[in-house]
Amino acid sequence: MAESREQLPQEVLALIFRYLPLRDRAAAAGVCRAWAAAATCSTVWRDTNVSCDSEWEGMLPPYLSACLDHIHNLSLEFEPWRKPSRWAATKLLTALAGRAQGLRGLRLECRGEKPLFDAGSDVLDAVHAVCRAAPALRHLDLRRLPFTLDDALVLQTARGCPELRSLFLDNCTLVGSVGPDSVLELLAACRSLRILGLHLASLSRAALEALAAPDRAPFVLLALRCACPEDARAPALPDEAWAALRRRHPGLGVELELEPALSADTVRRILQPSVPVAALRLNLSGDTIGPMHFAAHHYAASLRTLEVRAAASAELDQALEKLAARCAGLREVHCFCVVRPAVLGAFLAHCPRLRSYTLKLTREPHPWRPTLVA
């Protein structure tokens, strides 16, 4: 074994080591000189996925901490309710903050439940420290972090990360803490931002106008989550502002996620005809049929993904059939109630680009799996 191991060139070893968890990389580095050289080279560390599944994972022996310099993209998963996992994630982020000059992308994901009344300040402080020390950061994805993000983090990103291309802040139960003013500052500082995910309450007419300014880089995706009381109270974004944004960025797609906290009136206020809606996710406690008719009329040209959570009804089936007939560009449709066969027939007949659908004709045990179109 030892002989064949020595014959493997460093590049080949590095390609293998890339897929090892941190603890195994550390172990590999201890085997021999050739392996140490391979395990610490930049190929191995450039894109690093870490899943803090135990107290050992996520911890780096000090002699490997220089490897953090090589990381371009870090994707970090942890379980907030398990202390060792959380501790390891916080430690790793804190160590990274000391060596984040070259960091381009950071994505955090929490698995499992989070403890009640958990503000996540340990983890958020570490993220803050990374953003302060990563001037080359281009992608920051905090969608899977179930903690309330605040103005301080957004302002830190605005001041510390001028190269930012994509930022996702749209997942927390309570917002109100990322205000429209800090988003405006972010847009002013990060001129190359192309992708932004936010709660509706963080967006303003002024932000739409800033995005439509002539000197901005092409803006391609705005993901808007409308889920909490702050979103329901947010001032309306006028149709003219959407129309101007759309003229300025013809490639822009908007993803709208509407959750039960919204009243029918609020939904009507959010759905303006000129929003270039590419994805519509409806999970409303009130009327779902009205928004679907509206989408069939106004979003037919741009709609690519539709997701509906509602009770089965003949009206819903009709609305789905009408939508299928008008929205020929749909790639995905997922409806989480039983529909009549004509609904499935309508999507298959009218939407030639359909790739995946969840349209069940009989009740099935959950979770419902989508059907992929060959």
Ligand X SMILES: *[C@@H]1O[C@H](CO)[C@@H](O)[C@H](O)[C@H]1NC(C)=O
Taking CB atoms, the residue at the shortest distance from ligand X is 105
Binds ligand X by CB under 6 A, chosen from 10, 43, 54, 75? 75
Burial class (CB in 10 A: 0-12, 13-18, 19+), 301: exposed
Using the rule CB under 6 A, give the single segment among 53-61, 68-76, 175-183, 264-272 that binds ligand X.
68-76
Q: Does 82 bind ligand X (CB under 6 A)?
A: no
Instruction: List the x/- string, 5-24, binding to ligand X by CB under 6 A.
Output: -------------xx-----
Q: Does 309 bind ligand X (CB under 6 A)?
A: yes
Q: Does 199 bind ligand X (CB under 6 A)?
A: no
Give the residue with the Cβ less far from ligand X, 260 or 352.
260
Give the residue with the Cβ less far from ligand X, 245 or 266.
266
Least distance in angstroms from the C-beta of 12 to ligand X: 15
For the chain, give the secondary structure using H, E and C: CHHHHHHCCHHHHHHHHCCCCHHHHHHHHCCCHHHHHHHCCHHHHCEEEEEECCCCCCCCCHHHHHHHHHCCEEEEEECCCCHHHHHHHHHHHHHHHCCCCCCCEEEEEECCCCCCCCCCHHHHHHHHHHHHCCCCCCEEEEEECCCCCCHHHHHHHHHHCCCCCEEECCCCCCCCCCCHHHHHHHHHHCCCCCEEEEEHHHCCHHHHHHHCCCCCCCCCEEEEEECCHHHHHCCCCCHHHHHHHHHHCCCCEEEEEECCCCCHHHHHHHCCCCCCEEEEEECCCCCCHHHHHHHHHHCCCCCCEEEECCCCCHHHHHHHHHHHHHCCCCCEEEECCCCCHHHHHHHHHHCCCCCEEECCCCCCCCCCCCEECC
Total of residues contacting ligand X (CB under 6 A): 20
Instruction: List the x/- string, 42-61, binding to ligand X by CB under 6 A.
Output: -----x-x------------
Instruction: List the x/- string, 130-149, binding to ligand X by CB under 6 A.
Output: ---------x---xx-x---
Instruction: List the x/- string, 159-198, binding to ligand X by CB under 6 A.
Output: ------------x---------------------------
Using the rule CB under 6 A, give the single segment among 72-80, 214-222, 319-327, 345-353 that binds ligand X.
72-80
Q: Does 63 bind ligand X (CB under 6 A)?
A: no
Instruction: List the x/- string, 85-114, binding to ligand X by CB under 6 A.
Output: -------------------xx-x--x----
Least distance in angstroms from the C-beta of 335 to ligand X: 13
Interface contacts to ligand X, rule CB under 6 A: 18-19, 47, 49, 72-73, 75, 104-105, 107, 110, 139, 143-144, 146, 171, 259-260, 283, 309
